[in-house]
Structure 1
């Protein structure tokens, strides 16, 4: 039996990953800022330990990891799922709004990972699962700062995969497309305090208007997505980055094709910027 530690397990993808791990016969530490917000089935399951956790609170992280180690002897899989969204044109987002987003989506992930890694290194094994987004490989209008936070998650996850390989620890970034969860509700998604009218009718605000239309009609199934994430995390060779959903795969292919097309006319000049060799 493996022990999972899932942040942001009160609903959506985090809750479904916890359920998928339990279905394998594993144990799960399920965390949320308020444990009363955790689904009743997760709170009551005999192989779960509910723990109150705000990943922006270093002391709370240390306490939660201590509980997990005392209860199960260690943590085999850490799922860095806690996060939220932020919409708005880059110009509209204030420094305070951007920093608040990064405190949760990026620095919370870093702090959580740092707290777990000493236990995984001593055990000589472990798996890190970082929940990124298709917005982590494609900058999209109206989502610039959220994209930036998920680009950061992708970079951290890839670096960890190389850094931790000597210790027998794997790191995987999963990058879902739009899932039919509560993520587009105002409880999970923030808007900037000011809206600049000049952006009305432009791509940045088209994205803002799209949210209300798309909410709870998204194509992605969180249950199937969670099952795939758990399958990949427990496989012999997890991919460093795994797109989840048809829209995520399509946008990745579009992004790779665009990057290749944009590189080609500049390839020779780019390669020619090195010092000449004798």
Structure 2
């Protein structure tokens, strides 16, 4: 069955591969980016593609894009919150302006788009909200204070959103990719280095930036395979609430889960002795 997919960040990186996978499967795609022409350039002209310009940090623009999607295709069945960027750095070297910009794009941006699309899905009594977070959305990492904060926030929102929308036939899925060969680490395009400098961090910052730069183009994950996997997941009658993408993240999540269990067990008696006396 042909569904209508609404994909943000569809002009480059993972969004392009996902849009291609959806189109190849016979679905109709609304692909958005800040410049719609770049979506068309990346995907080509296609009768089942509607390219839209959208800044996801603009709530009014998100509402207009949702309206245009319904006007063209009549519905929105799958929303993929994919657009995002990476403000890297140690916490003290990330300016307040950069930290807030990270949250605006990676957290409030998906909220804007989802807020615009959910009325359409509720009216249909069906839909699927897929939000791309990251391994950094479940495992804190060095040099990722702002990025991880934005992705952890997304996960908390998505875990709670499922309860809001389940009664209306709407599914939710969190997707946690590891290192895929996308453009996330392209300097200036998606990666923004810290604008502050503190002597204590200077050497570590220089070394870490060099390490991140060296990983660009060397990531082991194939975004085309992830795109195909998400099309498969969206077709499931009961899609997963969380999808861990990449062997590196599978191992990391298993380790994190064991850490949590170990930490609970280490202080179980103390943790459990918090009740009021005679309560």
TM surpasses 0.5 = yes
8 Å CA contact 1:43, 1:50 repeated in 2: no
8 Å CA contact 2:76, 2:127 repeated in 1: yes
Pairwise mapping of residues 1-278 of structure 1 onto structure 2 (< 5 A)? 1-38=2-39, 40=41, 42-186=43-187, 187-200=189-202, 202=204, 206-277=207-278
Residues 142, 20 of structure 1: alpha-carbon distance in 2 compared, 3 angstrom cutoff: same
Any unmatched runs of 5+ in structure 1?
A: none
Residues 135, 206 of structure 1: alpha-carbon distance in 2 compared, 3 angstrom cutoff: farther
- Deviation larger for 39-48 or 29-38: 39-48
8 Å CA contact 2:134, 2:178 repeated in 1: yes
Any unmatched runs of 5+ in structure 2?
A: none
Could you tell me how far 1:214 is from its partner in structure 2? 0.6
Could you tell me how far 1:40 is from its partner in structure 2? 2.9
- Listed one character per residue, the Cα deviations across residues 29-80 of structure 1 (whole Å, up to 9, x for unaligned) are 0111012222536240111011111111122111111110001111000111
- Aligned structure 1 segments of 4 or more residues deviating by more than 6 angstroms: none
Could you tell me how far 1:94 is from its partner in structure 2? 1.2
| TM-score normalized with structure 2 length | 0.95
RMSD: 1.4
Matched position secondary structure for 2:69: helix
- Listed one character per residue, the Cα deviations across residues 76-112 of structure 1 (whole Å, up to 9, x for unaligned) are 0011111101110011111111111111111111111
Matched position secondary structure for 1:44: coil
Matched position secondary structure for 1:99: helix
Matched position secondary structure for 1:161: helix
Could you tell me how far 1:205 is from its partner in structure 2? 5.9
Could you tell me how far 1:234 is from its partner in structure 2? 2.0
